[in-house]
Amino acid sequence: MPEGGNPTKVDVNAQYTGVEYNYVYIITCVFIVFLILPGIGLLYGGLARRKHALALLFQSFMVLAVSTFQWLFWGYSLTYSRDGGPYIGTLKNFGLMDVMVAPSPGSDVIPEVVFCLFQLLFCACTVMIVVGGAFERGGLLPSLIFSFFWATIVYCPLARWTWSSAGWLYNLPAIDFAGGGPVHIASGCTALAYALILGKRRGYGEPSLRKPHNTTLVFIGTVMIWTGWLGFNGGSNLTASMRAMVAVFNTNTAGCMGILGWVIVDMIRHKGRYTLVGACEGAIAGLVGITPAAGCVSLWLAACIGFITSVVCASLQNVNEWIGVDEGLDVFKLHGIGGMVGAFLTGLFASEKISALDGSSLSPGAIDGNGIQVAKQLAEIGAIASYSFVVSAAMLLILKYIPGMHLRVDKEHELLGLDRALFFDEQIGDWSMATHAHGTTSPTLIGVSKDSSASVSKEECREGKASDI
């Protein structure tokens, strides 16, 4: 029965007797993966200038809300319906019809409702990464509209290709354990298209545009993302198997080696000095690199993948200048290029001995004598990168020329800051600069009347202006 049985007449739990630990493990991974969304909001908010930081925190929740609606509406059905073809599913499960406690398409020991929730967070996290392409000049409402349609037209087909048993990349097969293609390559290439269509920020090239306003937020956000990533990769085998345990170990290892790789490059670049932001970027690069390979490679090769991916990304520090695009959060560099490197290395290092730890999967790479797997990985990279970039750019151009859409905020709001332009009486920090019509500025303390603010000193004003920049 599609819904797993009538609970008023039979015990629908009985079909999972003895294997309950599998869905308990996956639902625990769901709780952990959720941390990625606010983590990305904190990371992006810390990297932004303070006057734009609140907008990025706000978007982390709004993206989750919009992605959840899209997934319930038709996203899940388009991706994982049991009928449909190798490129897109059908609307058989529209509105989550017949999605309840029957065994899922991904694993016969996981109820479909649990599988649906786990995959929902994959979609939401991917869309939140994409939003980084609109850094400091994209309108919030247009970004949410774009998020809904991007999840439908780009993410759902790519996830179908990669993870549905009917998908063409799944049957090629291209090895992608947890989302190197649909999550990272797709989000990185889309963010590049987003930044390209929006154009460069006003004042692009000024040193202040490169300065994170709060490295503490960057660090906290990275820690939350890393924690969530352990559940992201650890749950991707959809069973509580030895393969899942190795995937968790490999994920942590690659993140750590990513830190070492980026810090070494930073030390060379800055003549022995360090950057905390660089260490955080290194961790993320390592995590991106291991994502397609986490359940397919040995422990030391996972370390190599994290290190190599991080060094490659760190060495491309000026890639945005080279291609002439203002992609300030380095989404394309970390997720796009990092995902491509990880997918390629997966083809080299994937081993049957590791993938078979779940008792059934065989994913040999070049290291096992299956050299053709490298070509299959390159086919995945080319197909996902080109599809996501071209389709995303076309969608953004359509939105850009819709009257009243305002894909990019106007000049005044961009200079004032998205937080003060779009939010009611809220901002990051304990005070704001109120710009009057005649062009002068004065500090306004949160919770303090305008009259009492007159006691603020000139030194505090100057400090406020500098901090606000």
pLDDT at 430: 65
pLDDT at 243 over 60: yes
Find where tokens 């996902």 sit: 384
pLDDT at 468: 44
Q: Which tokens sit at 166?
A: 């009917």
The DSSP call for residue 210 is: G
Find where tokens 């609307």 sit: 91
Cα 37 from chain centre: 8
Domains of the chain, CATH where assigned: 14-400 (1.10.3430.10), 430-469 (no CATH)
Contact by Cβ (8 Å): 187, 335? yes
Residues 6+ apart with CB under 8 A from 380: 162, 169, 172, 174, 176, 181, 343
Query: What percent of the chain is modeled with pLDDT above 70?
Result: 91
The mean pLDDT of 294-303, rounded to a whole number, is 97
Is 441 in a helix, a strand, or coil?
strand
pLDDT in tens, 342-369: 999 999 999 999 999 999 999 999 999 9
| Number of alpha carbons in the 13 Å side-chain half-sphere of residue 69 | 10
pLDDT in tens, 36-72: 999 999 999 999 999 999 999 999 999 999 999 999 9
Question: In this predicted structure, which of 10-19, 96-105, 282-291, 426-435 has the lowest mean pLDDT?
Answer: 426-435
pLDDT at 204: 83
The mean pLDDT of 255-265, rounded to a whole number, is 98
pLDDT at 461 over 80: no
pLDDT in tens, 314-352: 999 899 999 999 998 999 999 999 999 999 999 999 999
Binning pLDDT at 50, 70 and 90, where does residue 208 land?
confident
pLDDT at 429 over 80: no
The mean pLDDT of 215-242, rounded to a whole number, is 97
pLDDT at 440 over 80: no
The DSSP call for residue 162 is: H
> What is each CA distance from 69 to 66, 95, 406, in whole angstroms?
5, 9, 23
